[in-house]
Amino acid sequence: MNCRRLALWVLLAALPAAFASPAFAQRVEPPPANLPPMGGPPDASVPPSVPTEPTTPELIVDLSLARVSITSAFQGESILMFGMFDPPGEIVVVVQGPAARETVMRKQRVLGLWLNTGRQSFDDVPAYYAIAASQPLQRLLARGAGGEILSLEDRLSTIKPATPRLSEELAKFRSGLVEVKRREGLYPAAIGQVTVQAGRLFRVDLPFPSRLPEGIYEVKAYLLRDGVIVAAVSRPLPVGKVGFSAQLAGWSVHDGPLYGLGAILMALIAGWLGGAIVRRL
């Protein structure tokens, strides 16, 4: 009987330990060796100038059209450039066409006939050049913005003559080049207006004439602060023929003799049809 009581007491004493919550052990790991202690000086191996988060760009731009398509009914195009910048600042937009060699011919009247009396070739001549700004360009350039931003006169002063000539003669041929380009609408004389809204949004309409040469154009926007360029963004703008006009241009380049023969046949057929119609009338 005493043995049974003793066993019962032992069983009752073990029940609380059996129904108790399980024990959890925590593993304490030492801090990494490369981390400074709490409250201590920062690690000298990490440069303090490295930002912890990526900085946002100061200038963001985009174009309303990704390319200019020249068709048989092409009468020019106007592209909207828009974007955002971190104020304060002024915006300048420069549109430049592909550079190539251009030849200027001088005509004079001799015995009642207009004859070519001279010619001059220039290298690195932009096919198209236009500027737009949110403030008068001369005011911006006068405050030291020059350098990368060039006016039309500054840009043309960098073109190289293919053949040497006196400076006075080169100046005359250069002015003749500008006159021809402006007559074709490729060198706009007026500075475009960049409209700034809400102090950080801007937009500008970029006009392109009907006689636009093909190639890859560069549309570049500059952000200026106190006459200094702080940001610049460039966008390529392809300009090319599409449709039947593109096929016809490719045919004339790759199959010149066949293209000439086809043009002669078309002219003969058109003349015959015109004569037949006139006779019937």
pTM: predicted TM-score of the whole model, two decimal places: 0.70
In the three-class reduction of DSSP (H, G, I as helix; E, B as strand; rest coil), residue 183 is classed as: helix
CA pair distance 28, 41, nearest whole angstrom: 24
For 45, the enclosing helix (H) or strand (E) is: none
CATH 2.60.40.10 fits 59-248, yes or no: yes
pLDDT, position 23: 46
Least-confidence region, from 65-69, 119-123, 218-222, 265-269? 265-269
Q: Output the CA–CA distances (angstroms, integers) from residue 280 to 23, 40, 269, 273, in the order listed.
A: 114, 106, 17, 11
The domain ranges of the chain are 59-248
Spatial CA neighbour of 208 closest among 166, 239, 242, 251 = 239
Query: What tokens were used for 269?
Result: 């057929």
Contacts of 197 (CB under 8 A, 6+ apart): 203
198-230 burial, b if ≥16 CB within 10 A, otherwise e? eeeebebebebeeebbbbebebbbbbbbeeebe
Dump pLDDT digits (tens) for 116-165: 888 999 999 999 999 999 998 877 776 555 568 888 988 988 899 998 88
Residue 115 has pLDDT above 80, yes or no: yes
CA 22 – CA 11 distance, rounded (Å): 20
